[in-house]
Structure 1
Amino acid sequence: MEANRIGRRTVLRTAGALAATTVVTGCGTLMGSSESRGSGGSKKRLVVSNSGGAYNDALTEAIYEPFAKETGITVTTVNYQSAQIIAQVKQGRPQVDLMDNTLLNFQKMAGLECLEPVDQDRLKSVKGAGIAEHNLPAHAVGKNVWASVMAYRTDSLKRAPKSWADFWNTHSFSGPRSLQSAEADLPELEFALLADGVPLDKLYPLDVDRAFASMSRIRGDVKKFWNTGALPAVLLGRKEVVMTSLWGGRADELIKQGQPVAYQWNGARRMTNGWGIPKGAGNTDAAYQLIDFSLRPEVQAAFAKLSPTGGPVVPAATKLISEDVLATLPTSPQNLKIGFDADAAWWDKNRDAVTKRWQEWADA
């Protein structure tokens, strides 16, 4: 769930910074490995970049350590931003063998010719697995799905909101709201369109004019456009807002704390994280082995049990997950029916223009 934007200026700045650093560590942060670090040229050592934190901890327990135990291949993790790896590739010296990032960022990197095309014939776990086509683009492989949902305080509303139309209905569901700022990630135009009556299967291509008109109707009731993933849960927990959009898993944390909070999967926007191999990476054989391992149903299920962002892309994995955990995942059979997948190709093409317009709208 990398929040940074990939732009030409960012890439150029990063390239300059990389030129002044050593090849061993670049600009990334070494987070650890499933075993002791090996020599840089060892084919028994796989360097993987991900976003770190609790996400890395869950990946380590569910994927990296079991993979190392089975194959003898050490997984060393680093925290590089996409722009850093793009700069490394442009210099002809990628310092990671495999990336874990959003399919949207991989869409951008593929356009910059910084990713190897995926040879699906090398992935036994993909064949016949029923992975959705949009999670298998030419230059990446989807691994886990997370979502933005609507959460609300049960003690502040007379009845539970059931849709984004209810979120926009400030008469029947009164109280301050919060929505995501473009500084945090993609502006939530889809929610505005759903509130305005656009069906789930007719969202794309987004009607940007209609979406901003819908956003304008609720703007006076939005107390805060949140710019960090943690903020909406804080606002909800402090009762500063009665409803908010937030990333999946944040509401579960509040509920576990005993807060009077619930959330609604209807109209959830799903995003997929996956694997991408930087162009020129030196250990593609091991990278393919790890990708293949991570898509086994039992491995998918193990990660889903540890992370709220771990919605399996392999349908068979849901049969290995308890009902209480399934209820918290965007790719459970029930939740799949009532949410939608963000169109990475549309957002890659339109993100800059939409973000510029959103900023102008927010500042007006």
Structure 2
Amino acid sequence: MRVAFAGTPEFARIALAAIADAGFVVPLVLTQPDRPAGRGLKLQASPVKRLAQALRIAVAQPQGLRLDGRFAGDARAARDALAAARPDLLVVAAYGLILPRWVLELPRLGCLNIHASLLPRWRGAAPIQRAIEAGDASTGVTIMQMDEGLDTGDMLLAQALPIAADDTAATLHDRLAALGARLVVQALRDAAAGTLRRTPQPPEGVTYARKIDRREARVDWRADAAQIARRVRAFDPAPGLHFELDGESVKLWRAAPRDDLPPAPAGTVLVAGGGRLVVACGRGALELVELQRPGGRRVGAAAFLQSRAPTPGSRLPPAGGD
């Protein structure tokens, strides 16, 4: 089995490492172009590219894959590289580019995708975050045979994974990445043995995990406290949920809903002392457990209140400054 690979972030790197460790020949890796990052905004290679270079695997970094698009030259070069690699399969994990028909049809056995949800729930760009935000009790990984639709291909393997009450997008990501790596190796072994079976996705239960918009990262105190608490976990580590306090944007990293306080208008500071900071929401109240001022580090409420204590009874802007 010759297995080409397309992926970019850490989720994909873990899968590539597992495929290589399992002994499959990886003749080519496709990954996103190097991007500026860090304080100096120096170009940095993706986690997948760094691993591919360490394993001495050829790397292609097209800016686009459409042969008639803006980056047609890149696409033609990628097509030539992929054709020369002669892959039996292409494994795709969080690559970041839509695959046109020519990519889907080039490998002898097509393209497999590692998707971080139990399809057809949470098709789309942000399945991990949306599952936490929605309060799902479990999620999982689906290995899917790719087609031209948005995560609509036949299912090959799937396994569920519980979502813990304190899971953030970061902690759930790591467990799903490990599960995805194990499942894709199993799928490749089944494909080599000719025992891989395809199951069409059911038409019921389709939901879409739209891409995270930074405008969503502002606390809206008019929402349900439990919903805000879930969004705090879903948006950790990025983009992070924030609210406005005295003209300053404060990140909120941990929070817990409370129902033991009398109701008050949304955004009212109910408690700001004794190591506790509690704010009224549209329904219930939210205890702010871990916060971060601009340029500072994450601290507990007690430490935060030592330098920035709002007045009980004061009102915070309803939607982070809106």
Common topology (TM > 0.5): no
TM interval, shorter chain, is: under 0.3
Answer with 1 or 2: which has the greater Rg. Answer: 2
Structure number with higher strand proportion:
2
Larger relative contact order (Cα-Cα within 8 Å, sequence gap ≥ 6): 1
Structure number with higher helix proportion:
1
Q: TM-score, normalised by structure 1?
A: 0.24
